[in-house]
Amino acid sequence: MFGTGEKFDLTHAVYCREGSAFFLIENWYSHLLQLSSYKPGAWMDSNAFLFSLLASDGQRQLDYTYHGDPGSITLTTMKGQIEIIFTYNEYARVISHDGLSLSLRADPYKPQTHLNAAGACHGACTLPDGTTEVTYGTYGKLRFRPLKGKVELEWGFDAKGTMNALSIKMVPDESGELDFAIHEAMIEFESLPETYPDPAELRQDGFDRYESFVNRVYLPPAKGYETLYKYATHTSWARRTKPGAGGIYEHPMMLMHYEYLGEAFAWQQSYHAMSMLNDPEEAWRMICVLFDHQNPVTGQLPGNVGFLTRNAGIQPPIQGFALDWLIDKCGDSFLTEEECARMFPKFAKWVEFWVTYRSAGRGDDVTMIDSPNDSGWDDATIFKDGFPTINPDLMAFMIDLLEMTGRLAEGCGKKEEAASYKARSQQLLQTLLDEFWDGDKFVTLHNGKPVDSLSIASYQPILLGKRLPQKIIDRIAEQLTEEGNFLTDIGLASESLRSTDVNYGTSTFVHGRVVAPVQLFMCAGLNLAGKKKEAAMIARRFCNVSQEKGCILGFPPLTDKYAATGKPIYIAPGPVASDGWPWSGWNSCNCLTLMTCIIPEGENA
């Protein structure tokens, strides 16, 4: 799937697989493959736990090409091949039959020359059991176990005693056979296995898990998106974490990235759920998975879950909307009485967090926020006046969350609670319509005053679908399908093209770029509101650009001049083969929903 000369190489994507912490990238500058692990949560441009892969025949370094698939990645040199198999367990296997060596050279990631990767190495030691351990402090540890061959260490120290060079060379045995298991751990190694599976078995496991997951979980794509489907399903699957393994994941979660944000972000779990329409039980599990980490005192869900830590931040309460979507598309047979009884208290606690700690103080369920993360619309112009704000986008989520909490109560026989939550949902919907719709959009309030904004966030309540009056649905659909307003050739811009307060730079998020989650909200909302053809039209535009450029979170709608001001657009290049944004599971799940549901439904409507 990813290889030298293929549609996407590893300057675009990372090579990774379900359940393994390891990943490989092709360095944008040196073109060497580099190995690391997502578990430390380090950013690639400041990652000290990064090793360049050097192949050699014992005498000289050899250039290589590479090809990776779900089973393994093979490096091909003029003298032979080296295969690296990432496994579902906490090790990778390195194999060659051609007398080749493979070195892992700790290397500063250019151009961040201030960073000395080897300087983060706390030491290497060959232990009495014949394994060689390398420790990188809080970044983790590696243990090289030679099954055939041996390890040679090379190192250097500067005048202050700081290590400034480290190379771990895996050398073949006398018969030219190289076979290593490279174990990784963040904390400590458990006992190493007595024996290892045959490489063919490990390789096949990657294919089997990928195919079985995709076939079980996802619907087939709309015609024309087979290539995007292949990359999107692999991107999602490969970001699926393994529970346990010394970390805090109790169940599989989905990482956003490997090489930048190597954590399972809160609301992205529900986005993934929305794409899993061939397996509603798995989709429901994904909606619930974040509740493994719910604060038992406040009810808060973490902003993200890393291998070892939970982020104390917060992301919006999308779970009700995701469940509403799932029921609309799959029915509710997965909501057994047991499941409702299990999840109702957790949903209720999550509701109480919002109405307790984010109350607008009006005596109802209207929420007020102090931070953009709480709404997910980080740098959208709805926040240009600052905080606190009352957000219609968040109110829409709350309306769904209240209703779905009532649905769970109903499902486990709690009739009074069910009626109460549903009444609160209705009341909040009425408040949203009465106080926040200005005839064109839903307005955000800052200190009680409307914020003058051309952000598409103002239309997010479309996700309430047919709960909205038809005239509002029609007016929103009209504006979202108007060329040159929000609609561009590649999907919906997060800020109107008519806005003068806009920035397409790579350090921005929803300050104008066309980003995947915006397409998901608007298209899913239009779909639920009965505007299925309009939704499909928008979805096609975004899927087209994703198929062409990869599973990247977002794209600038323009690259030369801003439409409203004529000012030049500056977008920094590299260090990945996009305009700076890496591949992301947040794109892949959104594209999967668009191409497996919204486009087919729109075109069959």
Rounded distance, CA 48 to CA 593, Å?
36
Longest dimension (CA), the chain: 81
Nearest-approach distance from CB 255 to another protein, in angstroms: 19
Q: Give the integer Cα–Cα distance in Å for 94 and 173.
A: 13
User: Least distance in Å: CB of 47 to another protein?
Assistant: 16
Q: Which is nearer to another protein, 282 or 374 (CB)?
A: 374
Q: Fill in the DSSP letter of residue 567.
A: P
Please say which residue, 43 or 155, places its beta carbon nearer to another protein.
155
DSSP string, 201-235: HHHHHHHHHHHHHHHHH-PPPPTT-HHHHHHHHHH
Q: Quick count: other Cβ atoms within 10 Å of Cβ 63?
A: 11
Smaller CB separation from another protein, 36 or 453: 453
Shortest CB 235 distance to another protein, Å: 27
CB of 394 to another protein, least distance (A): 15
Sign of CA dihedral 489, 495, 499, 500: negative
Query: Please, what is the minimum distance in Å from the beta carbon of residue 272 to another protein?
Result: 25
Among 58, 123, 331, 484, binds another protein (CB under 8 A): 123
Residue 570 in the binding site for another protein (CB under 8 A): no
Minimum CB separation from another protein for residue 15, in Å?
Answer: 27
Report in angstroms how near the CB of residue 386 gets to another protein at its nearest.
3
In this chain, which of 8, 43, 155, 196 binds another protein, going by CB under 8 A?
155
Site for another protein contains 21 (CB under 8 A): no
3-state SS, one letter per residue, for 241-301: CCCCCCCCCCCCCECCCCCCCCCEEHHHHHHHHHHCCCCHHHHHHHHHHHHHHCCCCCCCC
Name the residue nearer to another protein (CB basis): 356 or 604.
356
Cα–Cα distances in angstroms (integers) from residue 459 to residues 436, 498, 538, in the given order: 11, 16, 15
Residue among 158, 211, 370, 440 that touches another protein (CB under 8 A)? 370
Are the C-beta atoms of 123 and 132 separated by less than 8 Å? Answer: no
Q: How near is the Cβ of 502 to another protein at its closest, in Å? A: 11
Of 205 and 379, CB closest to another protein:
379
Site string for another protein, 278-317 (x = CB under 8 A): -----------------x-xx-x-------xx--xx----
Sole window of 131-139, 436-444, 469-477, 556-564 interacting with another protein (rule: CB under 8 A): 131-139
Q: Which residues, in sequence order, are CB contacts of 600 under 8 Å at separation 6+?
A: 219, 222, 536
Task: Name 18's Cβ contacts closer than 8 Å, sequence gap at least 6.
Answer: 88, 209, 210, 213, 237, 238, 239, 240, 242
448 binds another protein (CB under 8 A): no
Choosing from 215, 387, 438, 565, the residue that interacts with another protein (CB under 8 A) is: 387
81 touching another protein, by CB under 8 A: no
Indicate whether 131 belongs to the interface with another protein (CB under 8 A). Answer: no
Comparison of 60 and 160: residue with beta carbon closer to another protein: 160
CA dihedral sign of residues 196, 199, 204, 209: positive
Report CA-CA distances (Å) from 467 to 431, 432, 526.
13, 11, 12
Q: Is 304 exposed, middle or buried (0-12, 13-18, 19+ CB in 10 A)?
A: buried
- The span of 98-106, 187-195, 341-349, 541-549 binding another protein (CB under 8 A) equals 187-195
**Distance separating alpha carbons of residues 408 and 343, to the nearest angstrom:** 7
> Cis (ω within 30 of 0) for the bond into 345?
no
d(CA 540, CA 532): 12
Residue 188 in the binding site for another protein (CB under 8 A): yes
132 binds another protein (CB under 8 A): yes
DSSP states of 354-372 as a string?
Answer: HHHHSB-SSSSS-B-BSSG
Residue choice 186, 217, 305, 408 for contact with another protein (CB under 8 A)? 186
Cα–Cα distances in angstroms (integers) from residue 104 to residues 53, 170, 200, 536, 544, in the given order: 5, 8, 24, 47, 38
Residue 135 in the binding site for another protein (CB under 8 A) = yes
Residue 138 or residue 470: which is nearer to another protein going by CB? 138
- With CB under 8 A as the contact rule, which of the stretches 137-145, 169-177, 431-439, 571-579 interacts with another protein? 137-145
Backbone angles phi, psi at 81, to 5 degrees: -125, 155
Least spacing, CB of residue 390 vs another protein, in Å: 13
Contact 241, 255 (CB under 8 A): yes
* Piece of the chain touching another protein by CB under 8 A; list 4-12, 134-142, 409-417, 470-478: 134-142
Least spacing, CB of residue 372 vs another protein, in Å: 6
Q: Does 372 bind another protein (CB under 8 A)?
A: yes
The reply on whether position 506 binds another protein by CB under 8 A is: no
Instruction: Give least dist CB 384 to another protein, A.
Output: 5
- Beta strand ranges found along 149-208 (DSSP E): 150-157, 163-171, 178-185
Indicate the residue among 377 and 442 with the shorter CB distance to another protein: 377
CB-based contacts of 387, cutoff 8 Å, min separation 6: 369, 370, 371, 446
Site string for another protein, 341-360 (x = CB under 8 A): ----------------x---
Size of site (CB under 8 A) for another protein: 49
Residues 6+ apart with CB under 8 A from 536: 523, 598, 599, 600, 601, 602, 603, 605
Q: Binding segment for another protein among 124-132, 208-216, 466-474, 525-533 (CB under 8 A)?
A: 124-132
Binding of another protein at residue 43 (CB under 8 A)? Answer: no
Q: Does 383 bind another protein (CB under 8 A)?
A: yes
- Site membership for another protein, residue 572 (CB under 8 A): no
Q: From the CB of 297, what's the least distance to another protein, in Å?
A: 5
Does 565 sit near another protein (CB under 8 A)? no
547 residue type, one letter: Q
Of the residues 115, 153, 327, 564, which one makes contact with another protein according to CB under 8 A? 153
What SS3 state is found at 423?
Answer: helix
Pairing of strands 163-171, 491-492: unpaired
CA dihedral 596, 601, 602, 605 (to 10 degrees): 160
Tokens at residue 116, please? 């000395």
The residues that touch another protein, with contacts defined as CB under 8 A, are 122-128, 132-133, 135, 137-138, 141, 153, 155, 160-161, 186-190, 295, 297-298, 300, 308-309, 312-313, 357, 361, 370-373, 378-379, 381, 383-388, 503, 507-508, 511
